[in-house]
Chain A
Amino acid sequence: MAKIEVENVYKIFGPDPQGVLSRAQAGDSKEQILAKTGHTVGLHDITLSMEESKTFVVMGLSGSGKSTLIRHLNRLIEPTAGRILVDGTDVLTMNDADLRQFRRTKMAMVFQRFGLLPHRTVIQNVGYGLEMQGVDKKTRDDKAVEWIETVGLAGYENSYPAQLSGGMQQRVGLARALCGDPEVLLMDEAFSALDPLIRSGMQDQLIELQEKLNKTIVFITHDLDEALKLGDKIAILKDGRLSQVGKPEEILLEPADDYVAAFVRDVNRARVLTVDVVMRPPRLRLTTENIDAALNEMKGKKAEYGYVFDGDTFRGVVTEDHLVKAAKTNGGGRSLFELADDTQTVAANAVLEEALPAILQSNAPVAVIDDAGQFQGVISKRQVIRVLTEHREEESTPA
């Protein structure tokens, strides 16, 4: 079951949201409703499902409703209609005390403009969540010190936020959110206010932390590159409506509408797409040890290359020329397993940019190996070129 379920959520801003709700539900556009009633539709029929221990990114430009949406998850904003389930419990049915408890223990938030308490030191800020949970000062400080070290701010425990740079302040924000050990981390444009270089560093740090922590992260951003870098799944919002929800490669390769397509056009695909998205099954799997048999099979299938397997274990790649030569010199005495060349492989989770040198150097499509050393497929120059250039071709064809 998903960690967070958002079901048919509407949010309408104005004096009489309930009165306008039926119009929105009937499908009137944001502009129509604004012109006729003066109400602003913040969110229009949002249904999302966020998996446990995954990073869910909500992307959209300003005014798309993304910050409104994330504030619904911990009910800083109440929806006009719809349900929000966290671990199967409807957040909207909680009374004030339950809601406070829920915010203290389940969810922590990181803010675009940090939201640090300016009159408290770094250690007091980081321990704030625990303080709200009623943890004693000693435990609080011990934990806070740990987290301050984790985010790389050791030595700044007794500084005030105003003494720190933006990047450092947001590290405090991140440490504060994590210090209470929440199940869900809500990040509202957490890195948007930072310089590009620092932003990239923070993204890397978040990825690194997430590998250890496995939190459910909801990340809001207006930056598609950031969304693609961090997201296991991405939802794209436009004017309060969902344009598309999918994995990064789905967004990139199959944009649902012109809006998404316009967004993804300028993305550097080589940096985003991973090898396993582009790879294919090999044309020919050779499971025999016998060179002649292999040669026959290759000729029969008209394949220039064969991928040799010993049972389930990948042994390497062989070319037809290579086999012909070997058959002549060695009368088939050697095993195909020894002949196979297993020096060139690429990792399944590598991005294309990293895998590119290996792919370009090799004549044959390169074998793709996952973390466990298992063969996953092959990736060829042609596939890579196609996937990296197809959107440019689209662009050049007259509309």
Chain B
Amino acid sequence: MADGNWLVEFPALGRKDLRSIQKSIDEGFREFSRTYGQGLEDFFEPLLHFMIWFERLLLGAPWWLVIIVIAGLSYLASRNWKLTAGVVVAFVVIGVFGMWEDTMRTVAIITVCTMLAIVVGIPIGIIMARYDRVQATITPILDVMQTMPSFVYLIPVVMLLGIGRVPGVIAVVIYAIPPVIRLTNLGIRLVDKDVLEAANAFGANFRQRLFGVQIPLAMPNIMAGVNQTIMMSLAMVVIASMIGVKGLGQPVLKAITNQYFSMGLFNGLAIVAIAIIFDRVSQAYGLRIQKHRGVGH
């Protein structure tokens, strides 16, 4: 590369330099995971226990009880008999086609992921809405999380935590959390300035503004974010099965490697069914808690 040929060929780093850079990054990260890996695992221990407990609960309970509970929750959330009937039919069909256990595992992990994403994502969105500087910092991070191919961040997660449920959940949450953060931020920023000013003029403090005005008025956007997060978690479940997450993803993975078309199709359709159920029920719930919007003059 010493000659003038850089005009023709891009003056890339030499293979050796490149390898030493990669090596030092890899070693640095390996060092990091050796030092902190155990600590992180301990940190996520309660999450693991909760997930195992929840999965066992769903798998251990009689199938009809699970369906009744799910149907009951759907009705409570949506107050819609048709939707509830659809939910029951979908779960019965899934059971008939022999996918009950995998579906329960998937429902368990999706529920945990969604709750985690909400618990972590909404506060981040609130802080972003309050401080422009935080927004400017977090937005590019979210961009990376959403565009980085998901396989790529499976690598460090696996290096840190091995394979299993917890790394799977973390991978899913990383992939699925951006919408709820973004839409919480957006929703709060879009709250009518006049209403907020009125709350201020009546002496509302930060907490009263946040819980009395901003979050209720941002609800449509926050619910849209939650909805997107659920959808994205479901999409990620298949990929997460590569690192040992059990559920509907694993048969799909098996079907890909062995070219079992019908197996892939059935499990894929089961994921679609769960996705539609989660979507419709969460949307109906979102609409119902904002009944003031439905009452035009």
Contact = CB atoms under 8 A, between A and B. Distances in A.
B195 A118 contact: yes
Contacts of B202: 103-104, 108-109, 128-129, 132, 176, 180
Contact of B197 (A101, A105, A115): A115
Nearest to A100: B203
A111 B198 contact: yes
Interface string A97-138: 001111111011101011111111000000011001100000
A162 interface: yes
A154 interface: no
A160 B201 contact: no
A162 B295 contact: yes
Contacts of A170: none
Interface string A156-167: 000011111100
Contact of B204 (A76, A108, A132, A180): A132
A116 B192 CA distance: 10
- Majority secondary structure, A binding face: mixed
B213 A117 contact: yes
A345 interface: no
Contact of A109 (B201, B293, B296, B297): B201
A76 B205 CA distance: 13
Interface in B145-199: 192, 194-195, 197-199
A176 B203 CA distance: 13
B213 to A, nearest CB: 6
What DSSP secondary structure best describes chain B's contact surface? helix
Interface residues of B, number: 23
Given A113-B194, A132-B208, A162 B297 contact: yes
B216 interface: yes
B201 A108 contact: yes
Nearest to A173: B198
Interface in B20-65: none
A105 B201 CA distance: 11
Interface string A75-95: 010000000000000000000
Nearest to B290: A119
Given A132-B208, A162-B292, A76 B203 contact: no
Contacts of B297: 162-165
B220 to A, nearest CB: 11
Contacts of A76: 197, 200-201
A221 interface: no
A103 B203 contact: yes
A109 B195 CA distance: 12
Interface in B264-297: 290, 292-293, 295-297
Given A111-B198, A163-B297, A118 B204 contact: no
Given A160-B292, A162-B292, A165-B297, A111 B203 contact: no
Contacts of A162: 292-293, 295-297
B216 A104 contact: no
Nearest to A182: B202
A132 B212 CA distance: 11
Contacts of B204: 100, 132
Contact of A160 (B192, B197, B199, B295): B295
Contacts of B70: none
A64 interface: no
Contacts of B208: 132
Given A119-B290, A162-B295, A109 B203 contact: no
Contact of A118 (B200, B205, B292): B292
Contacts of A113: 194
B195 A117 contact: yes
Contact of B198 (A105, A107, A116): A116
Contacts of B293: 118, 162
Given A160-B295, A162-B295, A74 B201 contact: yes
B198 A115 contact: yes
Interface of B: 192, 194-195, 197-205, 208, 212-213, 216-217, 290, 292-293, 295-297
Interface of A: 74, 76, 99-105, 107-109, 111, 113-120, 128-129, 132-133, 160-165, 176, 180, 186
27 contacts: A76-B197, A100-B204, A101-B203, A103-B200, A103-B201, A103-B203, A104-B203, A109-B198, A109-B201, A111-B194, A111-B198, A111-B201, A115-B194, A115-B198, A116-B198, A117-B198, A117-B212, A118-B195, A119-B217, A128-B199, A129-B202, A132-B202, A132-B204, A132-B208, A162-B295, A163-B296, A165-B297
8 nearest A-B residue pairs (beta carbon):
A115-B198, A104-B203, A103-B203, A160-B292, A109-B201, A100-B203, A119-B216, A115-B194
Given A118-B293, A132-B202, 12 more contacts: A103-B202, A105-B203, A111-B194, A111-B198, A117-B213, A118-B192, A120-B292, A129-B202, A129-B203, A162-B297, A164-B297, A176-B202
